[in-house]
A and B are shown apart, each in its own frame.
Chain A
Amino acid sequence: MLETKALTKKFKSYEAVSNVSLYLEEGESVGLLGPNGAGKSTTISMMSTLLPPTSGEVRYNGVDALNKPQELRRVLGVVPQEIALYEELTAYENMKFFGRIYGLKGQKLEQRIKEVLELIGLTERSKDRVETYSGGMKRRINIGVTLLHEPRVLIMDEPTVGIDPQSRNYILEMIRRLNREKDMTILYTSHYMEEVEKLCDRIYIMDHGEIIASGTNQELKNILANDETIRIDVETLSKDFADRLSSHDVVQKVTQEGTGYKVIATKGDDLLGDVFELAKRSHTKITSVVVQTPTLEDVFLHLTGRTLRD
């Protein structure tokens, strides 16, 4: 339905996006996961026909969307990371304005405004100025405006940044419903792996402007099928202990997290026994040890040596 081929964007000598090829099937929910600065926003700007690429293609149903953007724009909804609204206007006024821009009018427009306000749970506050809204409410109206013309493809750029857990859950549930009940095709970018895991059928992991892995949630985790993740909490953090862990034969990565360490190691060896031995030698008191199932965060750590929030 929508695909990119070798999409590249250079800003002077800096290559923000390099050879990104990805695709979205109709009705699919696809995640684009990566840390800040990975090139996600630039990629979706090019996919939205807002930013011309340095090279590469964007195709919608086989048609070159860069040279003929009208067809894609007609069915496209883009939720930017920023609150792309007129905050001095009320939610209703914003919806009316953008609805008209999308070509809706009269009864149809009023009907859609009513439906979308109900969907995003802002009917009661529709006459209030957006500037008086909480962060979560602004995010909801930011999405709502994009839904007015019932887009077939919805591209969302980190739509839950900086909001409370309750609003976040509301938004995630809303997106899931749009995908499952309305059969809307969704490209969801985020650096929160839990959101992508929860919402998306397939995931692209991006770093330094490149796609470094792709597949379903399980396929990505299978990258770590031969590895295990061990979470070790200690009474006092010790550099000596961390160094001893890092130099162990089967240990691949050791990262400090809160009051302990996260260790990624090859499965099969009796690492746990050695962990206690190494702690004893470095006079470190272990308070807990948990063997975890690998997460997408672990996959990213494994692939890049960094965490998603770095």
Chain B
Amino acid sequence: MLHLIKKDFQLLSRSRSDLMQLLLMPFLLIAILGFALGDLLSTGFSIEPFPVAVVEEQNEDEAEEAFENHLMAIGMGEAERAQLLAVTDELDPRDELFNVLESDEVSEWVTVSEMSSRTSAEEALEEGEVEGVIVIPEGFSENLWKTVLLNEQTVSELDLALVDFQSVPADILRSITRSFVDRFNLELSIALALEGEEETAAAANDYGEIVSLNAVEPITSFQYYTVGMGMMFALYTAPALASRAFKEKEQHVFGRLIVSGTRPINYLLSKLVSGMWITFVQVAILFGLSTLVFGTFSGRELSFWLDAGLATLILSFVVGAITSLLTSIALYSNSDATASTFDGLIVTLFAFLGGSFTPVEQFSESLKTLGNWTPNGAMMTSYLQLLQGFSLSEVSSLMVRVVIMAVVLAAMSIVIFPKRRLD
């Protein structure tokens, strides 16, 4: 099978038209769109600050009182109690959350309004007055203090209600709240354990910046279009290889391969693997070239490149599966009409829905949701979220979706592939 894959690479490297389509055109488009639409993109992509309601189910005094009662219940002496209660004044998670939400970075995205009860906030959510609700539940601060100051195993979670779980605001809110709680627990515990109480306040003060940096980093036009064009033109690999497979059949090369003892299923798998590796190389070249020429991903940490590498592998897998399916259909139907339609129409449609040309959420959130069900769209969202500082686990649901798509497409191609009918 290696010979078949090597041959596909060899043929592609000799085809000027394929090289232009798969490498030159996307690179030119990255340059053109990156320069020309840079301002347009930043306008289009910036989201108007969206309203979020915050509900506090227990105020600060009640929380401190509950904590003090707990300290007494566990038999702590008065002096120690006074010392810890003094720390709670400095270390109020509720205040820290508001600091984060009202920080310069986050307030560009979020406007906060306080509401008195969970019910009224949920009504506002239903009526579309707010896009999300963060509820600081009763015991939230108390539990955090127990964890941080007393090393007790408690769970502190903010409740989050969202209008649309797939939307960008939803992603942002999720990221803010999750990383807020995680980091608060982790960093303050470490700070307390290592540096003592004096350091705690400093660590807490730094926290707002950490959250805002990690929540959403701005995407440059070059980053957006490098990813967008990469996703779009990766799809072109599939029809290019499938059309070549059809040509192989038309010119009886396929027959020659079969007579030589090549198993038909190996031929099909070679197309899947070729599609996969050609896509991987193609995207790697585009991202690398874009970084070299435009500095698109310069200065990124190794962890980003590893995550992006995994994302590219998943993208390559799904393109390989599409290649294999288009090959099966071409050989089964004795026509490359499906590959041509994919090349001429479906790639463009998928590219639009996936947001390769412009972020589709500016038209409608449903389009964005639909786009995330296209392999390129789902991968584009994943890449952009990785660029914005989201962790791999946070974007993994979309990647898993693409892997499932790839497995289904590959299975379909095997079922359709004509194992005997080679006329």
Contacts and interface: CB of A to CB of B under 8 A. Distances in A.
A23 B3 CA distance: 35
Contact of B10 (A45, A76, A82, A93): A93
A85 B7 CA distance: 12
Interface in A73-116: 73-74, 76-78, 80-86, 88-89, 93, 97-98, 100-103
B258 A103 contact: no
Interface string B1-17: 00110010011001100
Interface string B244-256: 0000001111011
A52 interface: yes
Interface residues of B, number: 23
B420 interface: yes
Interface in B1-50: 3-4, 7, 10-11, 14-15
9 nearest A-B pairs in the assembled complex, by CB-CB distance: A80-B252, A84-B252, A88-B14, A100-B3, A101-B260, A51-B423, A84-B253, A84-B256, A82-B252
A122 B421 CA distance: 35
A21 interface: no
Task: Give the interface residue-count category, chain A.
Answer: 20 to 34
15 contacts: A42-B423, A49-B259, A51-B422, A73-B259, A73-B261, A78-B256, A84-B255, A86-B7, A86-B11, A97-B3, A97-B7, A98-B260, A100-B3, A101-B3, A103-B261
A225 interface: no
Contacts of B10: 89, 93
Contacts, number: 70
Contacts of B420: 52
Contacts of A146: 256
B151 interface: no
B256 A80 contact: yes
B423 A45 contact: yes
A50 interface: yes
Contacts of B7: 86, 89, 97
Interface class of chain B by DSSP: helix
Interface in A111-133: 129
A70 interface: yes
Interface of B: 3-4, 7, 10-11, 14-15, 250-253, 255-262, 420-423
Nearest to A105: B3
A185 interface: no
B422 A50 contact: yes
A48 interface: yes
B23 to A, nearest CB: 17
A83 B251 contact: yes
Contact of B257 (A88, A89, A101): A101
A77 B10 CA distance: 25
A52 B422 CA distance: 8
B261 A82 contact: no
Given A50-B422, A84-B251, A84-B253, 18 more contacts: A45-B255, A45-B423, A50-B423, A51-B421, A51-B423, A52-B420, A78-B256, A82-B252, A84-B252, A85-B251, A85-B253, A89-B14, A97-B3, A98-B256, A101-B3, A101-B262, A102-B260, A103-B261
Given A85-B253, A86-B7, A88-B11, A50 B261 contact: no
A85 B11 CA distance: 12
Contacts of A80: 252, 255-256
